[in-house]
Amino acid sequence: MITLYSRIALFTSIITSILCFLSFNYHIDFTLYQVSYWLDLIAVFLFILLLVRGLIRWVALFRIKNKTGILLSKKGWFKSVTYEAVLWIFNLVIILFMVFYIEVGFLFKLVLFLYIMESFFYLLMGKKNYKLVITDNAITLVNHSLLVISWNEILTITLRHNDFQFKLKDNKVRLVDLDIINEKDRLEFETKIKEKAFQSNIYFAA
């Protein structure tokens, strides 16, 4: 869900900047098409998405902070940094492009900058708090994305070389990458998954 919000925001930003570029390149009168108005409207939409995304993942991060679980490895944290950094680059390119080529859209550029800042501080806070937690109700992974897999929704579990594959009753598949946790924690995680699968009568394959 979190990655969906990020993709919608990124897609909206890219399409908007391209349309602005085409308008500028073909000397279309901005005032005629009220570009400033539409950019502000899109900025409000992106800001609402940012608030929703931020609320969901920051609340999840603070809730899980004091819960017993498996902390993510440095490699796991760097994977989150890599994902977020790609979004930073796209947003920075759009901001710089609009600064140099589009005179309007200050609010739009400001919101994109807020996306970068929210992401940056979330990664800083998550460096020592990103966690994988197994409870009687669900498996919860809090990192750049938020993954919650309810035990009641799981149909089968497959342990592959570097990940767990959870097939859900609605035929969706969720993956938990084992590379995001330390080697010393993998056995503990695998054991807990097997035990819970047995208790819940869930088919487990390795």
pLDDT by residue (tens digit) across 34-91? 667 778 888 888 899 899 989 999 999 999 988 889 999 999 999 999 989 988 888 8
Q: How far is the C-alpha of 205 from the C-alpha of 83, rounded, in Å?
A: 30
pTM summary value = 0.82
pLDDT value of residue 93 = 84
Helix (H, G, I), strand (E, B) or coil at 46: helix
Do 7 and 51 belong to one domain?
yes
* Burial of residue 129 (number of CB atoms within 10 Å: 0-12, 13-18, 19+): middle
Do 117 and 143 belong to one domain?
no
Nearest alpha-carbon partner for 39 in 98, 81, 85, 93: 98
Last residue in a domain, options 76, 108, 126: 126
Q: Which residue has the tokens 């990655």?
A: 3
Beta carbons of 177 and 162 less than 8 angstroms apart: yes
Q: How far is the C-alpha of 115 from the C-alpha of 206, rounded, in Å?
A: 40
Task: Name the token pair of 134.
Answer: 């197994």
pLDDT value of residue 8 = 67
Do 135 and 114 belong to one domain?
no
pLDDT value of residue 98 = 79
Do 75 and 101 belong to one domain?
yes
pLDDT value of residue 72 = 92
pLDDT value of residue 119 = 93
Domain count, the chain: 2
Last residue in a domain, options 106, 126, 146: 126
pLDDT value of residue 95 = 87
Q: How far is the C-alpha of 193 from the C-alpha of 199, rounded, in Å?
A: 10
Beta carbons of 13 and 39 less than 8 angstroms apart: no
Task: Name the token pair of 50.
Answer: 């940012």
Write phi, then psi, for 72 (nearest 5 degrees): -75, 150
Last residue in a domain, options 91, 126, 161: 126
With a cut of 70, list the residues of the chain below it in pLDDT.
1-35
Residue 157's domain comprises 131-205
Strands 146-150 and 163-168: unpaired
Do 46 and 104 belong to one domain?
yes
Tell me the C-alpha to C-alpha distance, in Å, between residue 206 and each of 150, 160, 179: 20, 6, 17
Per DSSP, the residues of 50-108 read HHHHHHHHHHHHHHHTTS--EEBPHHHHHHHHHHHHHHHHHHHHHHHHHHHH-SS-HHH
